């Protein structure tokens, strides 16, 4: 087993997901709500009717298809050297978390790959059935399940998955395809807003349909489509306001440091007296690490206020160059799970970048403050 490096150790996961296994080197996790599906399967499986076992196979096969769909995205992303942090399976579908948003021409192919997998599964199964048993029932198999048409049902299920995912609206793959095509002649941010608005419109239409036809599941899906579309829109706004700007424009330049020989009690006093939560740890004139609020509180609770700062210092915090693009800094900080990064010009500490002051920077830009001029 390879030891994990510290950035992997601190990498943020979707909360509430349970680690399960790795496929093609990609961690695959299940959200805890997935247990609902397992319970649902058990209930169905024990029902005393002829095709109960088939229904269980059908649902498991569809989830396997969704997983293959996500792996399709991840493998094409890897082809473009974009790492997939994890695939998380939710009861209503899967999510591949990529380390960054790829440029439009790559995003186009990554987005297409998922639905393509479902088309291939559907095509393969239907082709196989057509060769061995020319009596095909068609889409009616879905509303009229029998033991005999299980494979055909799985095939049409995949067809529906592919078509639903191709709807040109965020957060579906079709929304990403739409954005990447629009980005040929529009700025990416504008293309994102269009795909996000069409996602919200679709969600509202879907929700209304679910309400009028009293289909709870449809309303449930509409709710998640709305959330996903709104989130993408917001993230795009954040990116458009930070894109092309270096870290030095947003970093904190007035901050306090602690010495490795100070006690955590001294550091706690400093935390009280200032509004600072994370402190660079100095040894002489050199920065040797970072003391963050959580480590500080933990140390006081476990070891008392006389413990030395040196013992609880994170010696491998996120380090950023002042010239790094803020856009990229946001991603690095977000993935590290750390609240704060040291901004280093070579060996010299020149500032701090925290998530909090990053969001303040975005907020100020949003209400119209022009970016500060570097001195
Ligand atoms: Zn997809």
CB atoms within 10 A of CB 137: 15
Q: Are 226 and 193 in contact (CB under 8 A)?
A: no
| Mean pLDDT score of the chain | 81
Give the residue among 341, 328, 357, 362 at the shortest CA–CA distance from 99.
Answer: 328
Give the residue among 256, 258, 339, 268 at the shortest CA–CA distance from 303.
Answer: 268
Q: How far is the CA of 160 from the centre of ligand 1 (A)?
A: 13
The pLDDT of residue 356? 84
Q: Are 189 and 234 in contact (CB under 8 A)?
A: no
Q: How far is the CA of 173 from the centre of ligand 1 (A)?
A: 5
Q: Is the pLDDT of residue 19 over 50?
A: yes
Interaxial angle between packed helices 355-366 and 326-336, expressed in degrees from 0 to 180 and rounded to the nearest 10:
140
Q: How far is the CA of 312 from the centre of ligand 1 (A)?
A: 42
Q: Is the pLDDT of residue 109 over 90?
A: yes
Rounded Cα gap, residues 213 and 233, in angstroms:
29
Q: What is the mean pLDDT of residues 280-298?
A: 88
Q: How far is the CA of 60 from the centre of ligand 1 (A)?
A: 18
Residue the block writes with tokens 């005999």: 148
Phi, psi of 99 (to 5 degrees): -65, -25
Rounded Cα gap, residues 287 and 317, in angstroms:
11
- The 3-state DSSP class for residue 306 equals coil
Q: What is the mean pLDDT of residues 129-144?
A: 68
Residues lying with their CB under 5 A of ligand 1, a single-atom ion: 114, 173
Check residues 10 and 29 and name the one with the higher pLDDT: 29
Q: Is the pLDDT of residue 111 over 80?
A: yes
Q: How far is the CA of 170 from the centre of ligand 1 (A)?
A: 11
Q: Is the pLDDT of residue 112 over 90?
A: yes
Phi, psi of 322 (to 5 degrees): -60, -15
Q: Are 149 and 70 in contact (CB under 8 A)?
A: no
- Name which of 59-68, 160-169, 246-255, 325-334 the model is least confident about: 325-334
Tokens of 33: 């709500």
10 pLDDT band (50/70/90 cuts)?
Answer: very low
Rounded Cα gap, residues 368 and 309, in angstroms:
41
Rounded Cα gap, residues 188 and 244, in angstroms:
13
Rounded Cα gap, residues 107 and 225, in angstroms:
20
Bridge pairing between strands 286-291 and 279-283: antiparallel
């Amino acid at each position: 087993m390879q030891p994990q490096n510290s950035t992997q150790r601190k990498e943020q996961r979707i909360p509430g997901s349970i680690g399960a296994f790795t496929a093609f080197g990609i961690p695959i996790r299940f959200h805890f709500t997935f247990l609902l599906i397992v319970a649902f399967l058990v209930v169905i499986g024990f029902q005393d009717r002829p095709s109960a076992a088939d229904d269980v196979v059908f649902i498991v096969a569809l989830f396997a298809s969704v997983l293959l769909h996500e792996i399709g995205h991840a493998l094409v992303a890897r082809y473009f050297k974009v790492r997939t942090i994890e695939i998380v399976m939710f009861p209503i579908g899967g999510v591949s978390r990529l380390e960054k948003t790829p440029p439009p021409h790559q995003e186009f192919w990554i987005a297409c790959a998922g639905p393509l997998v479902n088309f291939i599964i559907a095509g393969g199964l239907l082709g196989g059935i057509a060769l061995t048993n020319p009596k095909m029932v068609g889409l009616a198999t879905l509303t009229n399940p029998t033991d005999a048409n299980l494979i055909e049902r799985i095939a049409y299920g995949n067809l529906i998955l592919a078509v639903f995912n191709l709807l040109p609206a965020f957060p579906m793959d079709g929304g990403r395809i739409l954005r990447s095509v629009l980005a040929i002649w529009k700025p990416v941010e504008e293309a994102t807003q269009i795909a996000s608005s069409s996602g919200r419109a679709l969600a509202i239409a879907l929700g209304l349909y679910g309400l009028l036809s009293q289909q709870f599941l449809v309303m449930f899906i509409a709710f998640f489509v709305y959330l996903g579309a709104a989130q993408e829109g917001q993230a795009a706004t954040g990116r458009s306001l930070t894109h092309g700007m270096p870290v030095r424009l947003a970093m904190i330049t007035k901050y306090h440091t602690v010495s490795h020989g100070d006690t955590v009690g001294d550091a706690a006093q400093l935390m009280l007296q200032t509004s600072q939560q994370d402190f660079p740890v100095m040894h002489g004139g050199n920065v040797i690490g970072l003391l963050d609020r959580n480590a500080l509180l933990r140390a006081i609770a476990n070891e008392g206020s006389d413990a030395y700062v040196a013992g609880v210092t994170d010696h491998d915090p996120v380090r950023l160059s002042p010239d790094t693009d803020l856009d990229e800094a946001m991603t690095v900080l977000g993935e590290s799970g750390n609240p704060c990064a040291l901004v280093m010009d070579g060996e010299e500490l020149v500032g701090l970048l925290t998530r909090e002051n990053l969001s303040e920077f975005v907020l100020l830009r949003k209400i119209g403050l022009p970016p500060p001029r570097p001195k």
